[in-house]
Structure 1
Amino acid sequence: MSSFPVQPLSPLDGRYRPVVAPLGEYLSEAGLNRARVEVEVEWIIALTSRSLFGTRPLSEVECDRLRLLYLDFGQKEIDALAEREAVTRHDVKAVEYLVRDRLAEIGLGAVAELTHFACTSEDINSVAYALTVKRAVHDVWLPALQRVIEAVRALAHQHRDAAMLARTHGQPATPTTMGKELAVFVARLARVERQLAASEFLAKFSGATGTWSAHVAAAPDVSWPTVTREFVESLGLDVNPLTTQIEPHDWQVELYDRARHAGGILHNLATDIWTYISLGYFSQIPVPGATGSSTMPHKINPIRFENAEANLEIAGALFASLSQTLVTSRLQRDLTDSTTQRNIGVAFGHSLLALDNLRRGLGEIALAEDVLRADLDGNWEVLAEAIQTVVRAEIVAGRSSISDPYALLKDLTRGHRVGPADLAAFVSGLDIGNEAKERLRALTPATYTGLAADLVDDLP
C-alpha cells in the first residue's frame, strides 16, 4: 500500500500544497494515525498510573520512552501501518498492533495487554479526531482567519474617513465611508471567530456501545466513568458520557456550521472587494513579473479574490455535507461517518487556501480616493434624503407648511441628474427656517456620511 500518491488527485496535495501543508500535520491520514498512537499510549500510562490489574506506575523515563512512539512518529511508522493495514483491513487494529510491537522493543512487553484495553475502535477515533481537529483549528485555521480579520481591521481604520457613494440594490445611495463598510465585515467575522474559538471538542471512551461493559467485567469495583473522564480531560478535551458506540458528532456539526458561516461572510467580503475593484474604488498594486492576461498586457486581474471566492464555495459545500452526514448514525453505529470524517481536512484545506488568498489580496490593493470623490460628485441627488428629512423636522417644529416633502424631492430627483447649483437653488426656495437652509446648502455628498467614521472607532 503506497503511503503517498505519486500523482495527487486533489489540487490541495499538488498545486496548493505549500499553503495547506500545516493542516496535514493534523488532518492527514498520517496525522490521524499519530493521534491514534498517542491515545493508545496515553491510555496505557493512565491505566498503569492507577496500578490497575497489579501493574505499577511507569517511571518518568519509561513514560518518556513510551511517548516517543507518537512524538517521533514519522515515515517508518507510516509505512509500517500501511503494511499492517494491508493485512488487517482495519486501520485502528493496525495501530494497536504497531503499539504492541513497539512495547516489546522498548522493554515494556509486560503491559502489552493494556494496549487498546476495553476499547472499541471508536473510543480511539473519537479522541483522535477531537485532538486533530482541535489542534488544526487552533494552531492553523483560526490564526489564518484572525490574520484576515486584522488585515480588514487595518484597512477599516486606514480608510475610516474616506467618503464613498453607497450602493443599495446596485444604485447610488446615501454616502458612507470605505472604512465603515470594511468595519462591518470586521464585526461580523469577529463575532463568528469568538464562537469558533469557544467551540467544544468532545470525545467518548466508554466501550463498544457506550456502557463501559467490558471495563466493568474486568474490574467491577473501579469507577470507570471517572477514570475515562479524567483520561480524556488530561488530553485537553471534554467528555461526552452518554453515547452509543460513537460520540454523536454534534460538536463537529456545530464547528463545521460555524466554519461555513465564517466562509459565507468571507465570500461576501471577496465579492464586495472584487466589485469595488471593478468600480475603480480600489486599484491593484502590480506584482513584479506577474501577468494578468495572456493577450491583454494592461490587465491586473483580481485573482486573489476570485480564488478565495471559489475555494470558499467548495469549503462551504463540504462543511455543509459534513454537518448533514455526521449528525445521523443508524441505531448504535454505522460507518457513514468513517469516510465522511476523512474529508475534514479537505474542507479546512480549501477554506485555508481561501484565507491565504484573501490576506494576500488585501495587501495588494490601494484605495483610489480620486475615483471615490468623482463618483460622489456625480451623484448629488443622494442628498434628497437629507433635504426631505430636514423639511419633515421643520414641519414638526412649525417652521414649514410643506405638505409632502418626500413627493417634492421625488419629483425633483427621481430619474434626473441634479448638480450642486440645482440643489442650492431648490433649498433656497424651500419654506423652511434659515438655519436649516444653511445646513443643507453646506452639505455635499462627501460630507453626508453621518457617523460612519466614528463607527469604525467603535470596533471591538
Structure 2
Amino acid sequence: MANLNDTSVFPDPVYKATVLAPLFDGARDHHADGFQLIDRAHLVMLAETGILTREQASAIAGALVAIKDEIAPESLIYTGEVEDFFFLIEKHLKQRLGPDLAGRLHTARSRNDIDHTLFKLSLKPRTELLLEKLRAVVDAVLSAAEREKETLIVAYTHGQPAQPSTFGHYLGAVAEVLLRDIERIEAALDVIDLCPMGAAAITTSGFPIDRERMAELLGFSRPLENSYGCIASVDYTTGIYGALALTFLHLGRPIQDFQVWSSFEVGQLYVPNSLVQISSIMPQKRNPVPIEHLRHLASQAYGRSKAMLDIMHNTPFTDMNDSEGESQGMGYQAFDVAYRVLDLFAALVAQVSINAERVETNTNRSCITITELADSLVRLEDLSFRQAHEISAAVARAVVARGGSLAGDGYETFVEAFEHATGRTTDVSRERFAELVSARHFVSVRDRLGGPAPAALSASLGRYRDKLGAYERAAALRADRLAEARAELDSKFNALLGAA
C-alpha cells in the first residue's frame, strides 16, 4: 500500500549510481545492436500477423531508422530520466511518433523475453568465435601430431618417467579431449540458439503472435518452447560457462606438462627463441614465459567461467536479476581471456619441438622400456608375466645403480637374473635383447587401437581430422543460416519503410 506522505522521487541518487547507471552502460556497450535487431524483427512480425497495420508499422520503422542514424549509443550517458536503455529508445520513439503509436511496438512483448533474447544474441557470436578458435587449436595440435607422430618422448606418470611414447601420440590425446570440449560447447550453443521472444513476461500473449517467425528473423534455430522456461531457465548461461570452464581446466593440464618438459632438468621440450624471454640479470637463462602466461590465463578463463556458475547457485526458478545485465557482462570477460589463450596455445604448439638427445638420455637413465622386456619374455620364453616382471625389475635396478643403459649395460644382468629365476638359460641373444629394450621397438609393437605405433596413431589422427571437419561444416551451415536471416530481416524491414 502506498504511503501518501512519501514525497521521494525515483531514482534515488545512490540507486542510480550503483545500479541503474552501470546497467545502462552495460546495455549500451554490449546490447545496442541486439535491441535494434529485436525491435525490427518484432515490428515485422507484428505487421505480418496483422497486429499492427502496415501504415503503423511503416511509421514505426521510419522512426527506428531515424533513431539509429541520429543517436550513437557510445555517446549516451545515463541521466536517470528513464529507467534503462529500453525505456530510452521508447522515449525517443514517443518524441517522434507520439505516445499512442510509439507504444504499439511493445505489444505482446516484455523486457523479460527481450532481455534473455539480448543475452543469447550476445552469447551466440562469442560462442561461435570461441569454437572457431578451438577448431584452430585442434588443427594446430593435429598438424603437430602428424609431424611428430614418430618423435619419441618420455611419458610421465605421477611425475616420474614411465614409458616411451611419441609426441604425436601425446598430442593426439590432447586433440581428443579438445574435440570433446568442442562437443560440449556445441551442445551449449544448441540451447543458446533457442529464441525466448514471444514468452513476454511469463505466459506468452493473447495476441496472435508468431514465435517461429521471430526466431527465424533473429537467426535462431527455433523458439524455446515453454514460455515460463524462456524467462526462468538459465541453463543457456550455465551450459556455456560450464563447458567453457571445463575446456580451460582441461587445456591447463598439457600447458602444465609443457612447463615441466621445458625445464632445465627435464629438457624434453624445446621452445624457440621467438617464445622465450631472457632474464634481466642472469644472461644464461631462457625463460619460456609464454607457457606461464598460458597457465595463468587459462586459470583466469576457468575462474571467470566458474564464477558465473556460482552466481546462479541457489537462485529462484524465475526471472531474476542475478542472471542478467551485470552477470552477463562479467561472463563476457571469460570469453575475452579465452580467445587469448587459444591464439597463444595454437602458436606455441606449432613451434615447439622435442629435444631428441635429452629424450634418449632420460630414457636410458630411467629404464622406461623395461615393461616391453617383461612382455617379450612372456611371449618368447613362455613365462608368467609376474615372473617376467621380477626378472626385468632386477635388470632395471642393476642398470640404474650403475648409471648405464639397458641396451649397453643390461644384458649380462638379464642373463643372470633369468637363470636364477627359471633355472635355465635364455634364448634371447644380446642383439635381440638390445632390440627389445629400445624405445623405437617399444612404440612399434603397441599398434592396438589408440596406441602410439605409426599405423594405429595415423588411423586415430585421421578420425580426429574427420570429426574436426564435421564441426567446420556445421559452423558453416550456422553461418549461412544467420546470413540468410539477416538478409530476410533487412528485406522485410526495408519493405515496411517503403510502404510509408
Q: Give the alignment's TM-score, normalised by structure 2.
A: 0.72
Task: Measure the CA separation in 1 of the matches of 2:364 and 2:87.
Answer: 72
Opposite residue 157 of structure 1, the aligned amino acid is E
Q: Tell whether 2:387 aligns with 1:404.
A: yes
CA contact (8 A) 1:250 1:327 kept: no
Specify whether residues 259 and 402 from structure 1 end up closer, same or farther in structure 2 by C-alpha distance, changes over 3 A only.
closer
Q: Which residue of 1 aligns with 2:202?
A: 210
Deviations 1:69-97 (A, max 9, x none): 79x689722324x34x6322323322433
Specify whether residues 332 and 163 from structure 1 end up closer, same or farther in structure 2 by C-alpha distance, changes over 3 A only.
closer
Q: For 2:435, which of 417, 432, 442 is the aligned residue?
A: 442
SS at match of 1:172: strand
Opposite residue 167 of structure 1, the aligned amino acid is Y
SS at match of 1:343: helix
Q: Tell whether 2:105 aligns with 1:120.
A: no
Q: Tell whether 2:87 aligns with 1:88.
A: no
Deviates more, 1:346-355 or 1:442-451: 442-451
Deviates more, 1:86-95 or 1:257-266: 86-95
CA contact (8 A) 2:374 2:385 kept: no
Q: Which residue of 1 aligns with 2:123?
A: 133
Opposite residue 266 of structure 1, the aligned amino acid is L
Q: CA deviation at 1:329?
A: 3.6
Q: CA deviation at 1:193?
A: 1.1
SS at match of 1:88: coil
Q: CA deviation at 1:262?
A: 1.1
Specify whether residues 204 and 376 from structure 1 end up closer, same or farther in structure 2 by C-alpha distance, changes over 3 A only.
same
CA RMSD between the two structures: 3.3
Q: Which residue of 2 aligns with 1:260?
A: 245
Q: Which residue of 1 aligns with 2:37?
A: 38
1:199-238 correspondence to structure 2 within 5 Å:
199-200=189-190, 201=192, 202-207=194-199, 209-212=201-204, 215-216=205-206, 219=207, 222=208, 224=209, 227-237=210-220, 238=222
CA contact (8 A) 1:36 1:125 kept: no
Select the structure that is richer in helix. Answer: 2
Deviations 1:389-433 (A, max 9, x none): 2223356xxx45998222232233246455223322344554577
Task: Measure the CA separation in 2 of the matches of 1:327 and 1:99.
Answer: 39
Deviates more, 1:443-452 or 1:247-256: 443-452
Opposite residue 434 of structure 1, the aligned amino acid is D
Q: For 2:349, which of 348, 362, 365 is the aligned residue?
A: 362
Residue segments in structure 2 that go unaligned for 5+ positions in a row = 1-25, 419-423, 465-500
Q: Tell whether 2:289 aligns with 1:303.
A: yes
SS at match of 1:174: strand
Q: For 2:329, which of 342, 363, 367 is the aligned residue?
A: 342
Q: For 2:256, which of 244, 247, 271 is the aligned residue?
A: 271
Q: Which residue of 2 aligns with 1:77?
A: 73
Opposite residue 96 of structure 1, the aligned amino acid is E
Opposite residue 180 of structure 1, the aligned amino acid is H
Task: Measure the CA separation in 1 of the matches of 2:158 and 2:394.
Answer: 21
Q: Which residue of 2 aligns with 1:454?
A: 455
Q: Which residue of 2 aligns with 1:387?
A: 373
Q: CA deviation at 1:442?
A: 1.7
Specify whether residues 50 and 110 from structure 1 end up closer, same or farther in structure 2 by C-alpha distance, changes over 3 A only.
farther
Q: For 1:317, which of 288, 293, 303 is the aligned residue?
A: 303
Q: Which residue of 2 aligns with 1:330?
A: 316
Q: CA deviation at 1:175?
A: 0.5
Task: Measure the CA separation in 1 of the matches of 2:70 and 2:261.
Answer: 47
Specify whether residues 285 and 93 from structure 1 end up closer, same or farther in structure 2 by C-alpha distance, changes over 3 A only.
same
Q: Which residue of 2 aligns with 1:18?
A: none
Opposite residue 88 of structure 1, the aligned amino acid is V
Specify whether residues 150 and 28 from structure 1 end up closer, same or farther in structure 2 by C-alpha distance, changes over 3 A only.
farther
SS at match of 2:274: coil
Task: Measure the CA separation in 2 of the matches of 1:58 and 1:171.
Answer: 71
Q: How many residues align?
A: 410
Q: Give the alignment's TM-score, normalised by structure 1.
A: 0.78
Deviations 1:252-292 (A, max 9, x none): 2111111111111211121112222112222222239x852
CA contact (8 A) 1:304 1:360 kept: no
Task: Measure the CA separation in 1 of the matches of 2:37 and 2:89.
Answer: 10
CA contact (8 A) 1:160 1:179 kept: yes
Specify whether residues 411 and 171 from structure 1 end up closer, same or farther in structure 2 by C-alpha distance, changes over 3 A only.
same
Q: CA deviation at 1:207?
A: 4.8
Deviations 1:42-62 (A, max 9, x none): 211211122224445967x99
Q: CA deviation at 1:376?
A: 2.3
Task: Measure the CA separation in 2 of the matches of 1:234 and 1:327.
Answer: 33
Q: Which residue of 2 aligns with 1:422?
A: 409
Opposite residue 303 of structure 1, the aligned amino acid is V
Of structures 1 and 2, the one scoring higher in RCO (CA 8 A, sep 6+) is 2
Q: For 1:378, which of 365, 371, 382 is the aligned residue?
A: 365
